[in-house]
Structure 1
Amino acid sequence: MLQLKAFYETLRSERKGNFKGDICILSTSLTKPVQDFLSRDGIKYHIDPIEFLFSSSLAKKIGLFEHVRNVVNTAFQSTCHHLSPYSDIAAQRCKEVAAISLFSRAIANREHTRIWQVTGKALFETYRNKHFSKLGILSLFDSIRNDYDKILLCDGDMIFQRPVSELFELVNDDRAYVGDEINSITPGTGIYRSNRLAARLHPKKLSKDLSMGPNAHELNVGVILSRTNRMEQLMNEWKSIMFENGIEDLFYAHPSDFWHEQDYMRLLRDMNPEKFCNLPTTSLMHLCNQGNTVLREENGLFKMKSNEVLPTIVHFPGASWKNYHNIKSYYMKSILTSLNGLGIYK
């Protein structure tokens, strides 16, 4: 809720986002107090638990995968905390081998069904909330398709520094407008390793489509902007390539180099680059994977080091907000104090 408060306050501020349109929160579940708070503040919400996921074997395998990773990480944390940096590399490899062995044995023994009942389902629900909640927009299109020309679909861990109308004005065709992270997909990076793994596992489907090299960058799904019809098409394509294309095993293919939902969106762009347009860093900056090297924080504002421009959106994925004093102090307020201020708890 603290991130959401920073999000919509800067989005609506006349001196910042100056957004006058509708805001709708997508969620797999919302408590009644949160629903009441959103309604009082004029914010719409749409709840979709995305039930189809739970009827698939993929859900049980991801639940098992998360369970195994937790078990292995816990075991190694208790025994390897004293290791040197060089030993840490060896420990990481040992963790990967242990996780692969445990996961393979559990699948062979059909343990994923039992573990699903114990911890797997809860772990998958957490995973769904983090990685698949955007798919909830699919069940919303019937009621919004004819009401909105353009949609900005974004995470809540971001702030707005300039009028978002500047972003909407960029959309003048049927492409999806997205933003890249700074780092290239080159040898030594995690995305490069996961792409290589994917190409080895599915050479006929993926070897020609995956972009790698100094000019290839990670597409961050934290912000997607497009016309409404393109957004609906894109969300259906995303769902299809994740769950209906025969490459869903990449979600649990390796303890470290597994794919996230974001990788599948990047694959869609690699396959159809003409359907996407990259937003400039003056419009959107993701503060991960070296994004912090091109911005500086000054009195709560984030400026490009090269030209002092304020990016319209600054996104803090992966808890990168912890590196910035003003944002950190905002997010780290007392939870009780913040809920009182929001009128959610009294």
Structure 2
Amino acid sequence: MTIKSVLKLLIGAILVLSIVGCSDDDKDTKKQETPKRNISLNQVDVSDYQFTMNNQDAVSITLLQDNSNYFTITINKSRIQKGFKFLRNKDNYNTVDKDVDISATFTKDNFNFLPNINDNSFIELEVIDYDKINKKAIIKVSTTVVNTNNPKDTIGFNDAELTFTNSDTKAYFDLLTKNLNSKKTIGNSITSKNIQNVIKSLKENYDISAVGFNNSKLIQKDICLNENFCEVYADKVQIQAVSKNIEALTSSKVTPLYYQQVCSAIMIGLTDANREIIEQQIPQYFNHASKNGKSKWKALGVEITIAPDNQNLLGCSFYKK
């Protein structure tokens, strides 16, 4: 049975939301009858600075519980019109019009969940109402996203109805569609700065040049999909930055030494710590995890987690407050 709650926010957004999570034992259905995990997202925010997606003005809507549990969806502003519908699932994952793209990321307890070519994974959005005169918009969202470390671990929600109006504290409706002339840009977000520091650290400490997907040349404007999600590759190691969390996805195509060097580079990039000290610590964290199943440490303002993925490969993730 899903949890249903109506959360009225005084700051101008109303959210009707049912969140469900499932693990390996759950059936592959869009709505889970007996969810293993539940999460209540009781705050809504809208990005208040200018950035683009697919070379068009875009806006990010974030539903959050706290800094470790939140969902972000990004959409081109031109698509926020009454009647607009969007669905991406396994049947059209690679064919849906990229010019009508919508991105979604979910972070739970500092673990990243993203859409995937998976029977259970989808993003569905509908603009139910868009009233310029009364300055009110209603958007309904459903999604299931996949744990980047374990594709059988999914989380999502069905029929989240978001109502946006203007208020004394923030003009939510205006932010959805108006073009902004703000000096703030996506490149100034915490996520973007963290990934840039990691790119620099990889090169300076290990002579590793970050690249794009399929070893393509790294193009700066393509590194970050939105202000909360950035991604690069270090050879076959995929590095994802989601809000304040950075994770190096495991890869069986690189040596353990190379992967741990990537982990060290991330830690150095986030803290500007001495390389020799970090290179002493990271193998200790992995050794502890191999013996105990998982290791979690706090050092230099960063929370480090070493944990196995579904292939039992140990991976590293970092959360910097």
Same fold (TM > 0.5)? no
Q: Which is helix-richer, 1 or 2?
A: 1
Larger radius of gyration: 1
Q: Which is strand-richer, 1 or 2?
A: 2
TM-score, normalised with respect to structure 1: 0.24
Structure with more relative contact order (C-alpha pairs < 8 Å, separation 6 or more): 1
